[in-house]
C-alpha cells in the first residue's frame, strides 16, 4: 500500500432492507456479487438505521451523530444540518482527500464534498423501466478512473436509487423472481393498496396497468436489488482493474429499509417497524479489515463515520455519538447498542424505544393509517411485529416510556436543545394533524415526479 491514507468508496443503497439480501439469508439469490465481495471483508449482522428516513438516516451515517447531534429528523428538513456536526466529507477533505458525491446533492448531510455529480436516479426509459443503477455507473466509473489517477487519496460516495420506488427494474430482472400471472382477476391482494388514497395515484402512475398480485410488486423490489447488485459488480471489477483493491476501504450500507406489504405501510419506508430500521453493513479493506468475518451485536448508522476514520487512521477532535466497530473486528469486546431511540418523520411523526425484547412506538400526532397512539411488540415472540400488546402489557409500556423519556431528558441536557421530534412540527403540509382523518385527507403523492420532489430536495 502506498505511504498515504487508504481511499474510501462508500456505497449507500437507498431503501435496501438487509433481510431481502441473500447475504443475510434471504430465500432468493438477490445479491450474489455483493455476497462474494463481502467474503473479503466483515459483515455486521444487526445494523440499524434508528432515525428514518433518508435525510436523518444519511445525517447519522455521515456525521456519527444521533438525531440530537444532527438536529435532523424529518424527510423535508428545513435549513442546514447542525453546523457543529462535521460531515465525513468535511473531515476527510480537511485531511487531504479529494471528495466526490454522486447522486447526493441537496440533502443536508451532503455538505462538504469538493465535487457533486448527479445522474437520472428517477428516470424511466422508453421500455417503461428505470435504469437507475446503469445511469449511476455511467457517471461513477469515469469519476473513479479520474480519482485513481490523482496523487491524493479519495472519498467517493455513491447514492444508489435501486431498489427505491418506483420498483421498475429492467429486463431480465423484472421477472427474475416471479413466474405467476400478475393480472389474475381472482387475486385481490392489491385492492387495499389501490384504495389507500394518499398513495394510490402514485402506485398507479408506475405499476403496470391491471396488476392485482402484491407478490409481483415484491418481486419487482427483489429484482431491483438484483439489478443493483449486478451493476455494483462493475464497480468492484473496475476497482480491481485499476489496482485499487488493496488500498481502498469499501463500505456498503443503506440509509433505511423498506416496508413492502407490511403493517399497511405499503411499498414505502415509513413506520418504525424493523422492516424500515434494518440495514446491511459491510466493510472491506485487505490488511485492515478481517476477511470472511460476520459479527453479531446491534450497531447503528452513527457508528459508520467513527469506524471509517479509525480504519483510515484519520485523527480528529470531532466528537461522535456512535462508536468505532474496529475493536470488535479485532476480537475485542464492544458495547453493543442493546436499546436505542427510534424516530420517523416521513408520512407520520412517531418515536419509540427498541430493546432486544420489546419495541415501543409512540405517535406524537394522529397518523393517516388510523393506528393507535401506543404500539408495543414482543420482538422475541412476534419478530414481524403483528400483535400490538400495549393494552395487555401496560407495565411494559410504562417501563419503556420511562426509559425513553429519561434518555431524551439526558440528551437534551447534554446538547442544550429540545428534542427535534418535538420541534419539527411542520414536517409535512398541514402538519401537525389533529386527527387521522385530517392526515389521510391532506397527505398525497400524485406521481413519480411529485414523489421525487419530496426526496429531501435532491436536484438532478
The pLDDT assigned to 286 comes to: 97
The pLDDT assigned to 126 comes to: 85
pTM above threshold 0.75:
yes
The pLDDT assigned to 88 comes to: 98
The pLDDT assigned to 83 comes to: 85
Peptide bond preceding 83 in cis form (omega within 30 of 0): no
Mean pLDDT of 124-137: 91
Q: Delineate the domains of the chain, giving CATH numbers in brackets.
A: 7-337 (3.40.720.10), 340-450 (3.30.1120.10)
- In 3D, which of 82, 85, 95, 140 has the Cα closest to residue 116? 140
pLDDT band for position 65 (cuts 50, 70, 90):
very high
Residue that is written with C-alpha cell 447542525 in the block: 82
Q: Which long-range contacts (CB under 8 A, 24 or more apart) does 238-242 make?
A: 238/141, 238/144, 238/145, 239/9, 239/144, 242/144, 242/145, 242/148
Mean pLDDT of 134-155: 97
HSE-CB at 9 with a 13 A cutoff on CA atoms is 24
pLDDT band for position 335 (cuts 50, 70, 90):
confident
Mean pLDDT of 227-254: 97
Bridge-based pairing state of the strands 340-345 and 349-354: antiparallel
Q: How far is CA 134 from the centre of its chain?
A: 20
Q: pLDDT by residue (tens digit) across 379-400? A: 999 999 999 999 999 999 999 9
- In 3D, which of 12, 284, 24, 299 has the Cα closest to residue 163? 12
Contact 371, 441 (CB under 8 A): no
The pLDDT assigned to 457 comes to: 45
Mean pLDDT of 362-387: 98
Q: pLDDT by residue (tens digit) across 275-302? A: 999 999 999 999 999 999 999 999 999 9
Lowest mean pLDDT among 221-230, 302-311, 443-452: 443-452
Q: Does 458 score more than 60 pLDDT? A: no
The pLDDT assigned to 453 comes to: 58
Q: Does 460 score more than 50 pLDDT? A: no
Amino acid at each position: 500500500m502506498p505511504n498515504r491514507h487508504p481511499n474510501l468508496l462508500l456505497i449507500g443503497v437507498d431503501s435496501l432492507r438487509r433481510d431481502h439480501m441473500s447475504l443475510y439469508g434471504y430465500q432468493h439469490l438477490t445479491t450474489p456479487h455483493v455476497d462474494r465481495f463481502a467474503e473479503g471483508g466483515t459483515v455486521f449482522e444487526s445494523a440499524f438505521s434508528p432515525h428514518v428516513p433518508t435525510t436523518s438516516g444519511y445525517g447519522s451515517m455521515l456525521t456519527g451523530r444521533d438525531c440530537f447531534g444532527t438536529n435532523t429528523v424529518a424527510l423535508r428538513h428545513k435549513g442546514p444540518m447542525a453546523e457543529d456536526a462535521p460531515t465525513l466529507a468535511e473531515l476527510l477533505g480537511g485531511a487531504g482527500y479529494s471528495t466526490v458525491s454522486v447522486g447526493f446533492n441537496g440533502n443536508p448531510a451532503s455538505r462538504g464534498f469538493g465535487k457533486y455529480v448527479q445522474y437520472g436516479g428517477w428516470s424511466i426509459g422508453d421500455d417503461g423501466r428505470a435504469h437507475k443503477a446503469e445511469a449511476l455507473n455511467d457517471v461513477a466509473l469515469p469519476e473513479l478512473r479520474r480519482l485513481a489517477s490523482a496523487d491524493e487519496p479519495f472519498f467517493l460516495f455513491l447514492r444508489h436509487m435501486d431498489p427505491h420506488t418506483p420498483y421498475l427494474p429492467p429486463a431480465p430482472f423484472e421477472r427474475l423472481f416471479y413466474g405467476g400471472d400478475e393480472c389474475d382477476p381472482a387475486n385481490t391482494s392489491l385492492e387495499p393498496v389501490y384504495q389507500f388514497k394518499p398513495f394510490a395515484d402514485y402506485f398507479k402512475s408506475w405499476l403496470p396497468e391491471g396488476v392485482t398480485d402484491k407478490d409481483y410488486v415484491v418481486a419487482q423490489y427483489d429484482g431491483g436489488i438484483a439489478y443493483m447488485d449486478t451493476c455494483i459488480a462493475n464497480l468492484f471489477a473496475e476497482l480491481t482493474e485499476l489496482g485499487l483493491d488493496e488500498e481502498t476501504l469499501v463500505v456498503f450500507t443503506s440509509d433505511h429499509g423498506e416496508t413492502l406489504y407490511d403493517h399497511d405501510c405499503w411499498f414505502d419506508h415509513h413506520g418504525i417497524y424493523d422492516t424500515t430500521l434494518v440495514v446491511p453493513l459491510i466493510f472491506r479493506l485487505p490488511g485492515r479489515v478481517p476477511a470472511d468475518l460476520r459479527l453479531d451485536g446491534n450497531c447503528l448508522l452513527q457508528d459508520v463515520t467513527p469506524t471509517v476514520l479509525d480504519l483510515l487512521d484519520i485523527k480528529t477532535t470531532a466528537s461522535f455519538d456512535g462508536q468505532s466497530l474496529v475493536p470488535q473486528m479485532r476480537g475485542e469486546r464492544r458495547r453493543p447498542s442493546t436499546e436505542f431511540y427510534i424516530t420517523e418523520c416521513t408520512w407520520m411523526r412517531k418515536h419509540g424505544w427498541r430493546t432486544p425484547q420489546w419495541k415501543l412506538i409512540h405517535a406524537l400526532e394522529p397518523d393517516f393509517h388510523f393506528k393507535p397512539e401506543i404500539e408495543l411488540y414482543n420482538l422475541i415472540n412476534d419478530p414481524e411485529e403483528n400483535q400490538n400488546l400495549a393494552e395487555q402489557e401496560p407495565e411494559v409500556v410504562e417501563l419503556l416510556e420511562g426509559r425513553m423519556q429519561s434518555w431524551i431528558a439526558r440528551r437534551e441536557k447534554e446538547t442544550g436543545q429540545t428534542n427535534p421530534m418535538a420541534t419539527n412540527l411542520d414536517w409535512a403540509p398541514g402538519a401537525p394533524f389533529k386527527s387521522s382523518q385530517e392526515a389521510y385527507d391532506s397527505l398525497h403523492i400524485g406521481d413519480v415526479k411529485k414523489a421525487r420532489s419530496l426526496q429531501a430536495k435532491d436536484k438532478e
